[in-house]
Structure formats: structure tokens, C-alpha cells
Amino acid sequence: MIVIRRPQDAEAHLADAVMCCPHCGGTLAKWGYARERTVRAPGAATVTVRPRRLRCRNCTTTHILLPTALQPRRADTTEVIGIALAHKVNGLGFRRIATLMGRSESTVRRWLRRATDTHLNWACQQGATRLIQLAPEAFTEIRYAGNQLRYTLTILSAAAYWDRRRCGFEEPPWTLIGMYTRGRLLAPPRSG
């Protein structure tokens, strides 16, 4: 799985051979499309995408190119999961979040459980790396106040804010946050 901020850029990247195989660094070539998938956006809206599939010319591994607005193996967009995490920061429990967002309690509880401290630490480092490149002064102003989830979302949101402001990225903040976290806003689901 390779994640990309703007799937429409992939064609140009492939033509310029700037995308490399994550396994061996080989050149990637188009290899048809993966299965179409429909995921849930905030509220009752849905998003349907048909991700491109790529194949390494060297090691022949195939990779799926997933837009960072989506999360691998999740039925909801990055934004939906991000909003649920933001509700948790604001002190809401999984039942209340589920009601507010029109999702099942079990789904919301599963998301919140996959925001593990280890994963949040990692996600926070990804956001901090980007924020320090963009706006070091903004990074130094953000204080850790004893809540890893709050701190992580603040760092990631600040990076997205400054990316849009300084680099002119027009994608929604959660799509950028999906990019910093390489499509992994949450720790990967447990199998089963």
C-alpha cells in the first residue's frame, strides 16, 4: 500500500518515474486498478474511489495507491475518524460520539482503542517533523499538557494549517494529516 495526497498526480509521477517501490526502490508501472471501494464521509455522504494498482518492474510486487483522504481497511474516511478522535479530546465517550456521528458504538469504540499511545507518539512525530519544516515558531508554542491524543491532534492540525498557508495545499486538513501519518491515523486493525 502506497498513500498519495492527490491521486491525480500519480500519472505524472509515474511518467517521471519519481515513485519508487517501497520494498526495493525499483521503478513502478501502472498495473490496472484495484477493486472499487465506497467509504463513508461525515454524516450520510459516501466517497467512491477506484485506486490505481502499481507493479514494481524490479521485484514484481504490486502496490495499491490509496488517497490519504481514505484509511486502509477502514470503512470511513480519514476525516470521519479524525472527527471522532477530536470528540474524544473534548471529553466525549464512545457512546455519545457514536450518536453524534451516526455510527455504531462498536465502530467508534474500535477506532478509539486503536489510537494507542505508541501509535499516537509515532503520529505526533510525523506531524512534528513537518511542522518544524514549515513553521518552527508554531511548533515551539505548542505545549504538552498531559494528554497525548490532544497534543498529537494539535501538532497534526497545526502542520496542516501551515501547509495550506505556506505551501498552498488545497486539500482538506484531514487529507494532509492522512499524508503525514502515511494513511495510518490509527494503529492498524487487529486481524480478525
Residues near Zn ion (CB under 5 A) are: 21, 23-24, 26, 56, 58-59
- Least separation in angstroms between residue 29's CB and Zn ion is 11
Q: Closer to Zn ion by CB, 41 or 59: give it.
A: 59
CB 104 within 8 A of CB 98: yes
Looking from the CA of 140 toward its CB, the CA atoms found within 13 Å total 4
> Grid coordinates standing for 111?
477506532
- Least separation in angstroms between residue 2's CB and Zn ion is 11
- Least separation in angstroms between residue 35's CB and Zn ion is 22
Among 37, 61, 68, which residue's Cα sits nearest to residue 51?
Answer: 37
Q: Closer to Zn ion by CB, 21 or 135: give it.
A: 21
Q: What gap in Å lies between CA 106 and CA 101, rounded to an integer?
A: 13
Q: What gap in Å lies between CA 111 and CA 126, rounded to an integer?
A: 20
Q: Closer to Zn ion by CB, 26 or 42: give it.
A: 26
- Least separation in angstroms between residue 122's CB and Zn ion is 24
Q: Where are the alpha helices (DSSP H) in 75-116?
A: 78-89, 94-101, 105-114
Q: Closer to Zn ion by CB, 61 or 133: give it.
A: 61
Q: Closer to Zn ion by CB, 29 or 100: give it.
A: 29
Q: What gap in Å lies between CA 30 and CA 14, rounded to an integer?
A: 8
- Least separation in angstroms between residue 64's CB and Zn ion is 14
